[in-house]
Structure 1
């Protein structure tokens, strides 16, 4: 192989006589990976070794040994040089766009940023937005974005960014989850939280049967208001259940609720309030079990049993 004539590629076969299934490597793969393994064995930390790891990663993007070797090479060559590390970040971005769900890429990028003398959060956000535009629920990208804003301590753009995504798709659970993550780390004021509740209510009115937004609303009260659900949010929620949770009313099979998640929300609130609200909670869970969410009937019945046993 040109540039590596002094290197004898190591074999990739195990050599076991009783091996049940031999991997059918291509000649290119045998040559490239075998040469890289030989360089690893020699502990060569050179520019040509780094270039070869790039070729290995092109052939096998999830080959974590190649990623580890490349990082060792980079640390030897760069030695804190920002320009070389920036070049590496640009290379990572190119690889990332072709392998958006490769776990190794994100761990490698975190390691590079940790060893960068002057890393920039602003540099990272455009590529992350580009990738989330392509797949708004890419777990790997969201996880890295969380790591990134924690690493840089910069939450400046996050609420506006999630709001933009939710305008595009109100069902985007990843955006709702990220939004809650941001609030937990930024200690919002009470006024901000009240504004957030109004924001959520507007999204519920838009699409009442959306589990993500009801879960987020519940998270606001559980995390920031000590699970003290006020009468206003209860009355707002009742607008989507048409009173089927009223223990005085017979279950009317002709009544359609606008949101089974609203009924679940009320059942949870009434359970927390206890006392005279328990019959309402039981009625709500019965409605979910028999008509409005029968696919989870066993769970609703267990909740009823738990309430009545306490």
Structure 2
């Protein structure tokens, strides 16, 4: 880096460093062989669990070792009290928390947390409340993870899993507010937009929402997404959400309104490939609408063809694809 004086290692220091690194590699390989040997011999005891932990500390992405860890714990649990089982599971939750701080997108770590939570035994008294404490703790953890990286799709998937698993269900309206908070802080948060589609769909299905009410809610969503599109017309996230709102058979007045709005944006951002792409797609939807007059169809087809020609210019890497679509 600029401004930092480089120091050259002496031959003796370089050799010492090399030997130290070689020693670490040899120690790791010896530990790996020990743990894999225990796995082959199906050794499910505390000593094997400790060795398993040592190896995961060095390499938490080693999914085979996670599988072995679960088998060790399953081998230990029958001889333990519920309190001792919970103690082991709590230790593993703490362990994976420390790993996730460094490796927040490793699937195997998230997967082991799910297994821990699903393995919590029934507790004394009110079992629902007993288990709910564990799930609520997970919700707090995943919120911290998303505060650190609001676009971590592993954390978003895990959040949906936790919410669906809570013994006492959290209102879906709360999740809708949460996604809006994340979106308003960063319009390019694809995972938050995606979660919003899932949440709205779940609300409509659960409440049996009428199509008229869905259209009204979508109109409010169009206002939110329009802010995002004008803020960054080159970000794919907002355009994908906009297309979800439009759907395959939108009301004609909505389709015409959104085409007009996007044309306004296109005038301001003539090189935005996502803007042109959306405009071409919606123009073809309008062309296919049963109420579109025949004399207007040829005009719409030519508009779409012209837009795909424009895409060939602004998105050269996909030129052949746009040629095919233009045909």
CA separation of 1:211 and 1:60: change in aligned 2, threshold 3 A: closer
Aligned partner of 2:19 in structure 1 is: none
SS of structure 2 residue aligned to 1:50: helix
Q: Which has the higher helix share?
A: 2
Quote the RMSD (CA, aligned, Å): 3.1
User: 1 CA distance for matches of 2:253 and 2:86?
Assistant: 50
Counterparts of residues 1-310 of structure 1 (less than 5 Å) = 26-78=25-77, 81-117=85-121, 118=131, 120-152=134-166, 154=170, 155=172, 157-187=174-204, 189=209, 190=214, 191-222=216-247, 225=250, 229-242=254-267, 257=270, 259-274=272-287, 275-276=297-298, 277-290=300-313, 292-305=314-327
Separation of aligned partners in 1, 2:326 and 2:203: 37
Distance in 1 between residues matched to 2:261 and 2:319, nearest whole Å: 26
CA contact (8 A) 2:229 2:238 kept: yes
Deviation digits for residues 74-129 of structure 1 (CA, Å, limit 9, x no counterpart): 22334554444233222221222232232321221222222224254321123223
Shift of 1:217: 0.4
Q: Which runs of 5+ in 2 are unaligned?
A: 1-21, 122-130, 288-296
Q: CA deviation at 1:232?
A: 1.9
CA contact (8 A) 2:100 2:109 kept: yes
Taking the aligned partners of 1:177 and 1:101, their CA distance within structure 2 comes to: 18
Structure 2 partner of 1:19: none
Structure 1: segments with no counterpart, 5+ residues? 1-22, 243-254, 306-310
What is the number of equivalent residue pairs in this alignment?
A: 270
- Contact kept? 1:237, 1:262, Cα under 8 Å: yes
Q: CA deviation at 1:171?
A: 1.8
Note if contact 2:193-2:238 (Cα within 8 Å) is conserved in structure 1: yes
